[in-house]
Amino acid sequence: MINRILIHNTKTTNNNYHLLHSLWQAFKETSLQIQISQPQTLQLFIKNFQPELIICFGGEQISPTIENLKSPNTKWILWTTEDPFEINFNKQIAKHFDIVLTSDKASQNLYSHPHCYYLPLAASKNWFYHPVIKQPSKLLYDLIFIGTAWPNRTKFLKELISLLKQNHLTSRFILPTNPHIPQNTLSDVDIIKFERDFRLAPTDLANLQNHSLFALTLFRDFSGDGNPRPQSSPTNRFYETALAGTGQIIVSNDINIPEFYPEIKDHIFQLQNAREIIDTITYIKQNPEIRNYAASSVQQFVIDNHSYSHRVKELLKIVDNLNN
Amino acid sequence: MLPEHLDSNQHIRKMLMSEATQCDFTIQFYQSETYLHEAYKTKQPDLIVLFGSFYKPNTDIYNLITQTSRYLGTRVAAWITEDPYEFDCNYLLPKLVDFVFSNDKNSCNYYHSQNVYHLPLATAFNTLEPLAEPEWDFVFCGVGFANRIDIIEGLQDILKNYSTLIIGSNWSKQITENFFTRTQVDYDELISIYRNSKIVLNLSRYHNIANQIYEIVPSTVAPRTFEVAAMGIFQLVFFDRPEIHEYFTQEEIITFSSKQEFAYLADKYINNPQLRHSIANEAKQKVHKEHLYRHRLQTLLQQVLNNL
């Protein structure tokens, strides 16, 4: 019987900490005891808290020396959140764990581990929920995109921004850069640096999405080592945008949300190109009730099925099965 | 509070102290390295509030906190004023004191503790008014952090058409060559300059001192937003912290997100003093009603009482 659970933040610097915090909040809602450790405090927590289950959340950066910390009374889980981009490293350390969970569906088959499962990330109402704004006059933008300026996105974004301007549609693009992105990646995009290059708090991100007719979701196919690898399943941003209460436009060659979640196929705007986005926005501006209904439906779908409480239940079921 | 010689935000302390006189409870302020010794001489307090930065002091602040709670046997709260920029020095505070109040809403989430509450900074009641014939069209005061340099350089073509004054250090050569600049002014002089300007630019800070663990992005606006509003001076705010609309409506504070929008707003407001005054007045009323330190102190006390 598991009672004490330790969530271990595997990264020395973690600017996606809200994921881990949401998982912690979901465990707090159960009767289990839950603590969070950092790379520098893992040993201390193992000694003093004596967890029966340790969830190493994130992947990457974990040292194989964790092998020395293992004991027969503790189960170790690796939950990778950056697959397929960090799969090479994660595969190397997977053998040290009793269970491997990956947030990318196709990556599940790449681990030669007897207990590897697909467990997607999710979204927490505490961070992202906003009621859908139904009066168009209260919205700030027709389209918003907030995401890292990965090189594969720039050609598409350049065309989209140009078309939005031509069609007098209001938009906001916030495209923070990072050291992994080649310099001048955005030199062709017609947005001045100060307008696009800053980070937002997760709650502020949701706030801006909420005040937009549509939020654009793009998936990533660029890794730190420069090799293109497509994601195969929805990321946390899909669920988070749904909770933010906005119409969600998805452009992806690799992930088809209506196929992934047929329950919401009529409420997701999965489109192919910039032209389709313009046409969709133009049409919805005349028929806002379609967007409002879609946004509410997708939001409810995520509340009902894709919170971290749902993931906690699934995770504990996997652990139970292993113990049995 | 930090000893005076270590305190780089003395005007905030002065405001807090003047506002405390408006509260219906008694507050005694100590701002010296021997304040614990002085505190012994006073009547046993019901609550001790440690206010300010927990990063700079040469004194061992954590040892002081332990001594305070042990010897005075009193509940202790910490009101942090430098989140998230110094978060790595603050994250242990919830384990050391009874209540933690953070100036930044987003940072509160990262303590993963139940005794942490959001309490933004504020301002003091102010009877000052903007001058009738201001000398400057635009004024900005602050350190030239990278994001601010990007903004001023990005708006340079527009700002050059107006009389623009940039106050502070670390600005780029491009900016110092193109605008009137001052490297340093004290707070009283700054107020005079603000009153002598049509529009105060409000640009956020993204510069960390100790924020490596989670690289937390700030969400709460800086206290300068409330301070300028309390003087009835019109400000244009770069819209990178939507939380601002939890304090002011879109009718009380005007924001911009792009160069194009800034150009439109500059043209609209520079030559329309009545419109500027009307909006600035709305913001001033809001601050006087909700965003003075007397309101924050009441909130702090209420939160403590609710959670005893």
Q: Is 3.30.460 the CATH classification of the domain at B4-121+292-306?
A: no
Distance of alpha carbon B230 from alpha carbon B225, whole angstroms: 9
Q: Which residues in chain B have Cβ-Cβ distances shorter than 8 Å to A24?
A: 112
Phi and psi at A17, nearest 5°, equal -65, -20
User: pLDDT (tens digit, 0 to 9) for every residue of chain B, 308 residues total?
Assistant: 666 666 667 889 899 999 999 998 888 888 766 666 676 677 778 888 989 888 865 667 777 777 777 777 788 899 999 999 999 989 889 988 999 999 999 999 999 888 999 999 999 998 888 998 999 999 999 999 999 999 999 999 999 999 999 999 999 999 999 999 998 899 999 999 999 999 999 999 888 999 988 889 999 999 999 999 999 999 999 999 999 999 999 999 999 999 999 999 999 999 999 999 999 999 999 999 999 999 999 999 999 999 98
Element housing A46 (H / E): helix A42-49
Q: Do B154 and A17 touch (CB under 8 A)?
A: no
Whether residue A207 and residue B206 make contact (CB cut-off 8 A), yes or no, is no
Are B143 and B222 contacting, i.e. CB atoms less than 8 angstroms apart? no
User: Which DSSP letter does residue B271 get?
Assistant: T
Name the fold adopted by A4-122+307-323: Rossmann fold (3.40.50)
B288 vs B127: CA distance, rounded Å: 10
**What is this model's ipTM?**
0.89
Per-residue pLDDT at B184:
82
d(CA A170, CA A56): 42
State pLDDT tens for residues A215-258: 999 876 555 555 556 888 999 999 999 999 999 999 988 889 99
Could you count the other beta carbons within 10 Å of the beta carbon of residue B234?
26
3 state SS of B254: strand
Instruction: Give the up-direction half-sphere exposure of residue B106: CA atoms within 13 A in the CB hemisphere.
Output: 31
Contacts of B164 (CB under 8 A, 6+ apart): B136, B137, B138, B139, B140, B179, B180
Domain boundaries, chain A: 4-122+307-323, 126-304
Residue boundaries of the structural domains of chain B: 4-121+292-306, 136-290
The whole-model pTM stands at 0.92
Per-residue pLDDT at A25 exceeds 70:
yes
Cα angle B55, B215, B92; round to 5: 45
Cβ contact B243–A203 (<8 Å)? yes
Is-contact A55 A20, C-beta < 8 A?
no
Answer whether B258 sits within 8 Å of A197, measured CB to CB. no
Question: What whole-number distance in Å separates Cα of residue B284 and Cα of residue B291?
Answer: 10
Helical spans, DSSP H, in B122-244: 146-154, 156-159, 173-178, 187-195, 223-230
Res A40 pLDDT > 60? yes
**pLDDT value at position A276?**
97
Highest CATH level, class, for B136-290:
alpha beta
Residue B35: per-residue pLDDT: 64
> Where are any strands of DSSP class E within B163-265?
164-167, 180-182, 197-202, 235-238, 254-256
Given CB atoms, is B241 within the 8 Å cutoff of chain A? yes
d(CA B1, CA A306): 45
- Region at A50 (left for phi over 0; alpha for psi -120 to 50; beta for the rest): left
Domain spanning A126-304: which CATH class is it, in words?
A: alpha beta
Please say whether the beta carbons of A203 and B219 come within 8 A.
yes
∠ CA B302-B306-B308, nearest 5°, is 115
Coarse DSSP helix, strand, coil percentages of chain A, rounded to the nearest 5 percent: 40, 15, 40
pLDDT digits (tens, 9 = 90+) for A278-310: 999 999 999 999 999 999 999 999 999 999 999
Matching fold, domains A4-122+307-323 and A126-304: yes
Over the stretch A170-207, which tens digit does the pLDDT of each residue have?
999 999 988 777 777 787 788 999 999 999 999 999 99
Q: Does B110 touch chain A (CB under 8 A)?
A: yes
| Mutant choice from B153, B206, B217 vs A, greatest count of A C-beta within 10 A | B217
CA distance A197 to A175: 5
First and final C-alpha spacing in chain A = 11
Mutation target to probe the A interface, by most A beta carbons within 10 A, among B202, B240, B261 is B240
Nearest-angstrom CA–CA distance, B184 and B270? 26
Q: What 3-state class would DSSP assign to B246?
A: helix
Q: Which residue has the higher pLDDT, A79 or B114?
A: A79
Cβ separation B213–A38 shorter than 8 A = yes
Unique residue bearing structure tokens 């509340």: A303
Q: What share of chain B is helix, strand, coil (3-state, %, to 5)?
A: 45, 15, 40
Phi, psi angle pair for A50, to nearest 5°: 50, 60
Q: What is the pLDDT of residue A225?
A: 53
pLDDT(A132) > 80:
yes
Using CA of residue B41, residue B45, residue B47, residue B49, what is the dihedral sign? negative
| Lowest mean pLDDT across A4-8, A12-16, B198-202 | A12-16
- More confidently predicted of B152 and A70: B152
